[in-house]
Amino acid sequence: MYLPSFQLDQKTVLVTGAGRGIGRALAIGMAEAGADVLLVARTESDLQETAKQIEQLGRRAFVLTCDVTDRTQVQATVDRAYTYVDRIDVLVNNAGMNIRSKALDVTEDEWETIQQTNLKSAFLFSQEIGRRMQDTGGSILNIASVAGHVALRTGVVYATTKAALIQMTKVLALEWGPKNIRVNAIGPWYFKTPLTEPLLADPAYLQDIVDVTPLGRVGELTELVGPAVFLASDAGTYVTGQTLFVDGGMTIKGF
């Protein structure tokens, strides 16, 4: 047979930022593909809602509250995760945030907060779980952004973190490939989430987005799940170090 499995049966996935938005969609999508899911975020009530939806699918869900920017908490969270499961097959580094300040207005606190949430947390979880994956192999998926590849009008700190995350993806893929650990990234454009809804409610703002998107619309969260499952599953076992832009064609648009 030539068609590999896109299913995640018998696999365990850990998703950071799993309480809402993209993280919740990816966690539920992984469960729909057959995985048990470890859910990580700061807010327990959000995680419990995600867990409820996963358990309704007949899969196991484990709630792990954590400040993903704190190394001690990350280490304790990963240790706790391994008391629930024997191995973690897939890590999804999704936790992220943005403060849309113009470059001249960025404060040091904003710089530190965005850098630690978007970049440091991904490295900490990759390091802790990657250490254990050395013996088992696995897949790491970083949620980057088109902002790490092309220049947007605001969000210089956010863009810096996402560009660094794309490069981190490449370096970890090179270093850990011999241990059968694949490291890839997804670069979304605009998707309908609780965080983007206020922006997309402005007709002029929405039109600006649509005008630079060949498919002529923003994305639905369900459209991120397929690429993520592909990269996590046996269908993607020869793909590593890559960033898949799920952007309606935005990053290839010329004049």
Tokens for 93, please give them. 């580094």
For residue 245, pLDDT beyond 70: yes
Catalytic residue check, 158: yes
pLDDT for the residue 109: 97
Spatial distance between the Cα atoms of 113 and 159, rounded to a whole number of angstroms:
14
Task: Transcribe 127-141 into DSSP letters.
Answer: HHHHHHHHHH-EEEE
Work out the average pLDDT over 79-99.
97
pLDDT for the residue 255: 67
Spatial distance between the Cα atoms of 16 and 98, rounded to a whole number of angstroms:
16
Domains and CATH numbers, the chain: 12-245 (3.40.50.720)
Q: Do residues 140 and 126 make contact, with C-beta atoms less than 8 angstroms apart? A: yes
Spatial distance between the Cα atoms of 183 and 127, rounded to a whole number of angstroms:
12
With a threshold of 0.75, does the pTM exceed it?
A: yes
82, 84, 158, 238: which is the annotated catalytic residue? 158
Per residue in 160-176, pLDDT (tens digit) is: 999 999 999 999 999 99
Per cent of the chain over pLDDT 70 is 100
Per residue in 123-156, pLDDT (tens digit) is: 999 999 999 999 999 999 999 999 999 999 879 9
End-to-end CA distance of the chain, in Å? 44
- Give the CA radius of gyration of the chain: 18
